[in-house]
Amino acid sequence: MTAVLAINNSHKLSSPRLEMPPRLLLGAGPSNADPRVIEAMSRPQVGHLDPSFLKLMGEIQELLRYTFQTDNSLTIPVSGTGSAAMETTFANTIEPNDVVLVAVKGYFGRRMVDMAGRYGADVRQIDKPWGEAFSLEELRSALATHRPAILGIVHAETSTGVRQPLEGVGDLCREFGCLLVVDTVTSLGCFPLFIDDWKIDLAYSCSQKGLSCPPGASPLTMNQRALDKIHNRHTKVANWYLDVSLVSKYWGKERTYHHTAPINMNYALYEALCLVAEEGLESRWERHQKNAQMLWDGLADLGLVCHVPKELRLPTLTTVRVPDGVQEAEIRHQLLNNYNIEISGGLGDLAGKVWRIGLMGHNSRPESIERLFSALGELLPKN
């Protein structure tokens, strides 16, 4: 006899309409999405093999090539956040016991070390204090000592606000016969990045920072040198979902099913990349630098000191030293709760010592800076 279970209505949940506070996101990410991007996400959903979506995929790839400044055929958005794109580079290029050298100068260099080790690499690292960058001479010495298969380095270190100069690093890697993997999570679309000219073999980024798009579709590009290493692997890629030999058949000419792509997130990414192209990369880079300078000048007027020397500062992310006697977390909480402004605290070696202020994409505007200064002027103690 079939049992009939009665519904217990005492367990029924109320379902109020979703409402979220109108935050100004001036932290380390995400940034606020551009209104056009939000609108694009509401377009009618189609299937991931629908002809209209397959056409859109090609357009996204072309826009990504422009934004990365590359002709790489394998230039795609990974279905996942920036960390998924980051893991894609290591999952595909590392075979057990490969020597991987990571130039660590912050939290996300350490994440590279962790990921590489999980794929069986013989991981070596060189370190700089959090707030400094590596010189070509230091990188050359490390490459000569360790002779790695891969060098990993962060272009824009989100934990410190340091811009790593990359000119000449690709040449060094070719001289020593290794691949160059670059983290461009906090640089793509905001300040100069030239994948091909700088001879970067693999680079990954995210959608939710400089591109002013929600997280979930993360740019990735690989050149032929990287693909040759992948094609000549002796072992199967350990991560099925991120295996580019499979994913590339979906994003390549075959358009062969691999996974259900996040349809509406790709609508959003397309619109975000259109905004980049319409503004133009050089104009966009200039805007970010101009607004960063406005931020730095205003911080000095408030008596605040930037952690990173000006020549190495990111226009996207500024680390500010917390003054003596000021409760770092309390200022952030008051900004969030009383002014609807989010900034970030320090990570790792800089935890409790700095605030991190982001000016990325749509949020890199004078009105964002003025609103922040107005709030900080009320919250910080007067000298």
- Residue stretches of the annotated binding site: 356
| Exposure string over 100-129, b if 16+ CB within 10 A, otherwise e | bbbbbbbbbbbbbbebbeebebbbbbbebe
- Quote the tokens at residue 179: 């691949």
Residue 231, judged by CB atoms within 10 A of its CB (0-12, 13-18, 19+), counts as: exposed
**Which residues on adjacent β-strands are paired with residue 24?**
341
- CA dist., res. 288 & res. 11, Å (int): 51
Gyration radius (Cα) of the chain, Å: 22
Q: Which residue has the tokens 């070696």?
A: 349
Rounded Cα gap, residues 204 and 369, in angstroms: 28
Residues in binding site for substrate: 356
DSSP string for residues in 308-329: S-GGGB-SSEEEEEPPTT--HH
Do the bridges between strand 156-157 and strand 150-154 make them parallel or antiparallel, or are there none, so unpaired? unpaired
Alpha-carbon span 378 to 201, nearest angstrom:
47
Burial 323-349 (b: 16+ CB within 10 A, else e): eeeeebeebbebbbeebebbbbbbbee
DSSP codes, 249-271: HHHSTT----S---HHHHHHHHH
